[in-house]
Each structure stands twice: as C-alpha cells, then as structure tokens.
Amino acid sequence: VTPMAADSAGNGSVLPSALDVTCNSRFVKISKDQLTATYTGMGNHSQDVGSVRVDKALPQTLAMWYFEVTVLDNEDSMSDVGGPREIDTHCGVTIGLAPESFPLNTQVGFSAHSYGWRAVDGKIFGAPADGDPDNGTHSSTSARGRDYGSSWTSGDTVGCGYDFSRQAIFYTKNGILMGTAFQGVPCVITAGSDYPVVPVSTPRSPLFGTVSMHIQGERVRVNLGHTQKFLFDLTAYQNALSSARLELMASENNPHQIPRMSIRQVVTQYLLHQGCSQTLAALNKDTSLHARTQGDVEPGDEEERNQPPTTPSTLSNGPQWVPVARRGDVGEGGSMPASNTAAPDNQSSHPSDSDSATCTRSKNSRRQQLKIACVPNDCLNETILDRARLRELIISGNPEGALKFLEKKYPQVLADKPVISLALTSQALINLVIEKKPLEAIQLGQ
C-alpha cells in the first residue's frame, strides 16, 4: 500500500479504490477486477466516446491525490482465426478529472469543468491555466486544445494528479513529471463559482478521476495505489514541493513575506486585544529592565527601542505599543477590582480626563467608527477598559448589563451587528427562566 492509499486518519474507505461500475458509459465494459476497462463502441462520431470514472471523488483529507492509467494492447489486435489483424494504431485515450455531472459519452476535457490530456496528440483540454494570454481559446468547449507534452500510446503509463495546496492538475508519463497543466482549479465545483463560471442551478460537484476511450477495442488498466506502487515517485515529488515552499518562505524575495515580529510584540498584541492592561504594563516593565541590564535585544526589537516612549497620542497602526497601567484596570484572569464590580451596570471604569484628552479621536467619532473587526492599536487603546468591563459583565452572567452598557456607549455596534443584541437578549431570557421569574421573562420577550 502506498502513502496515498489512506488518509491521515487511516480512513482508506474515503479514497477511490476501483472504477465506478454503477456509473459508466454504455460503450465501456469493466472487468471483474474493477480496474480494467475496455471500449466496446465503434468510435465513429463524437458522441460515442466511452468514459469511466473512479468510484469516489477527490479525497480532500490529503494534500495531493494521484492515479495512473496503463494503456494495454488493443483487444481487437488479435483474432481467433487468422492471427493478428490490422487495426487503428492511434491511441484514443484521454485521462483527467471531471465533475459528477460530466456526460460519460464525452471526452474528458471537452465538457464544462472537466480537464484532460489526450494521447493522440499530447494536447490538454479544459479551462485555461492562470495567466494564459489566449484566454478562452482553450476553454472546456474548445476543440483546439493546448500543446502540453508528447503523444502516448499502447504500453505507456500516464498519471494525473491534483495538488490541493496549489489547486493544480499535473500529469506524468512513464514515471516522469510532465509539469503543471492547469492551476486555479477548485476541487469542488459550486454554483456561482467564478473560475470556471458555473450556472446557479449547478449543485456542489467534486472532481473524479476520469478516463475516456474512443478507438474500438481499446483497453486501459487503472492503478489507484492500493494493489501496486505507482510508477511515478509521488512522495519524492511532494517532498520537493515542500522544500521549495520552505525556501520561498525563507527567501527575501517572497512576495508573501510577513513582517518579522518578536515574541514580545506578539504577546503584546494579544494582551492588548484581550484588554489585560496590567499584564501589559508588567510585561513592558520587565522586558525594558531586562534589556537595560542584560543588553539583550530580540530580533525586531532594536528599532522599537530606538524610538521615543509611546503614548496614546503617538500611536501607530503597527504592533509596537504597550499601554501604561491605570487604576481600576483588569487584573490577572480577567477579574475586576472590587470598586469596579460594585459599580452599577450602566456605569464603567474609564480613563482619566487627562488620558482621554490625549486620544487622537473624539469618543463620539470613535464609537461611530468602531467595528467588530481588526482595528489599529489606537482604537484598542481607547477601548481597552470598556472592553474589559464588557467582558466581565458577560463572563459574570449579566447579559442585561452588557446590553445596557453597549446601548449607552457603543450603540453603533448593536446597529451594525444585530446578532449581538439577539444573543445577549436570549441569554437574559434564559437566565430569567432559570431563576423562575416568568413575568419578567414574558416582559423581556415582548
């Protein structure tokens, strides 16, 4: 059994294991081993193609799926009487991927959202690869195809694979990689997909390994990796791709390079988001003292140390701010000081007037602009105590207090996200029912 014969959870049953005997062209006969198929049609016109697919769709539990097809000697090349007879020496086989809705009397690649590599001329058919300047010429309805590799015939083994990380289809011939044929191909076709365009009426349709034949007597044997090893070294190919990705990530030329951040900056950003200002102040004090006494600087911290102390009025959008602790801040574990927890639900701790005066935005403007989304550090700074208070109200089981708090200080949040109001009101109703206060519950429900 090859590495591709079972998924990461060991569920071999989710992987294709044979040809689908319940869904194949009337021009195809499948042998008892359910891996060998023979074309029984005459091959006279474009509508008598014989296609057959594997019994299960692409397994999305894998990083890559692959299968191989060996073209066997033509069944009609031998005669019971008189020895060998002359037959068409061309190969009419095409290998590829197609959705469940693919018509099995059509060559794979010639119908919408299917992709195929044809033996007779080595061309590929299907949606164009990303960046193809001849966009549309090689679409699924085109009979021209696109040059890809050499032709193949009886005795050759060709493979087709799908790389989930790149959404790419690739082919091999006799154990040699032929390269990427299509890229940007979704493994599941859904209604309304942009690439390729899918009618709204089309249901979700995963891709299946598919083989088409169109010359009388043609035979193929499919290898799905269960009974024998692949001719192509799939494991080595996967390792090479992984190494290339790692090299790209480490390269300075990586277009997706993420700015380097020190561990302290990451922790700072997390604590700032959570509203733990006392912990932030302690972290800032400890790391600053350690840096002064030991001279240690984490990667990414040197520029920050060379900058003047940061205050709310000089905040940037970057993750470089550590707020100063204020009286009444949230303590460790999210607990509130007694003076704050004793306050009425419609009141909250807030920065002093001097602190508020340094804010770069007015509170009214800030409340209107606040969204439940990623926000810059200055917004997080301005709302750190309010967010801590709101969290404490919710954790302590006071959804009504949390709702009143939001209505008073951040009404725009409730207007933009009505689901928040619904969730808090529902929880308050549940609390009243648990407390056996039916009249209050009915009043709240109304």
For 122-151, the pLDDT digits (tens) are 999 986 544 454 545 555 556 688 999 999
The pLDDT score that the predictor gives to residue 189 is 74
Distance of CA 168 to the CA centre of its chain: 14
- pLDDT-derived band of residue 251, with 50, 70 and 90 as boundaries? confident
Q: How many other β-carbons are positioned within 10 Å of the β-carbon of residue 258?
A: 7
pLDDT, tens digit (0-9, with 9 covering 90-100), for 391-417: 889 888 899 899 999 999 988 888 888
- Please state, in angstroms and as integers, the Cα–Cα distance from residue 155 to each residue in 84, 173, 174, following that order: 17, 11, 9
The larger pLDDT score, comparing residue 353 to residue 268, is at 268
3-state secondary structure of 219: strand
Distance of CA 237 to the CA centre of its chain: 22
pLDDT, tens digit (0-9, with 9 covering 90-100), for 320-368: 333 333 333 333 343 333 333 333 344 443 434 333 333 444 444 444 4
pLDDT at 13 over 70: no
* pTM reported for the whole predicted model: 0.56
- CATH number of the domain located at residue range(s) 3-250 in this protein: 2.60.120.920
The pLDDT score that the predictor gives to residue 432 is 87
- Please state, in angstroms and as integers, the Cα–Cα distance from residue 416 to each residue in 22, 66, 367, 380, 411, following that order: 51, 47, 12, 18, 9
Residue 418's H or E segment, with its range, is: helix 418-434
Q: How much is the mean pLDDT over the chain?
A: 74
d(CA 257, CA 251) in angstroms, rounded, equals 8
**Cα dihedral 76/78/83/87 (nearest 10):** 40
pLDDT at 426 over 50: yes
pLDDT at 372 over 70: no
Q: Are 326 and 355 in contact (CB under 8 A)?
A: yes
User: In the 8-state DSSP scheme, what is residue 30?
Assistant: E
The pLDDT score that the predictor gives to residue 255 is 66
285: CB partners within 8 A, 6+ apart: none
Q: How many other β-carbons are positioned within 10 Å of the β-carbon of residue 114?
A: 29
d(CA 315, CA 313) in angstroms, rounded, equals 6
3-state secondary structure of 197: coil
Helices marked H in 251-376: 263-274, 277-294, 302-305, 338-341, 353-357, 363-369
In the chain, where the domains are located: 3-250, 263-396
Lowest mean pLDDT among 92-96, 203-207, 275-279, 323-327: 323-327
Report long-range pairs for 178-186 (Cβ below 8 Å, ≥24 apart). Answer: 178/148, 178/149, 179/148, 179/149, 180/129, 181/115, 181/117, 181/124, 181/126, 181/129, 181/148, 182/115, 182/124, 182/126, 182/127, 182/128, 182/129, 183/129, 183/130, 184/129, 184/130, 185/97, 185/115, 185/127
The pLDDT score that the predictor gives to residue 82 is 47
pLDDT at 381 over 70: yes
Q: How many other β-carbons are positioned within 10 Å of the β-carbon of residue 127?
A: 25
Lowest mean pLDDT among 101-115, 271-285, 296-310, 312-326: 312-326
- pLDDT-derived band of residue 81, with 50, 70 and 90 as boundaries? very low
- Which runs of E-coded beta strand occur in 326-424? none
The pLDDT score that the predictor gives to residue 191 is 52
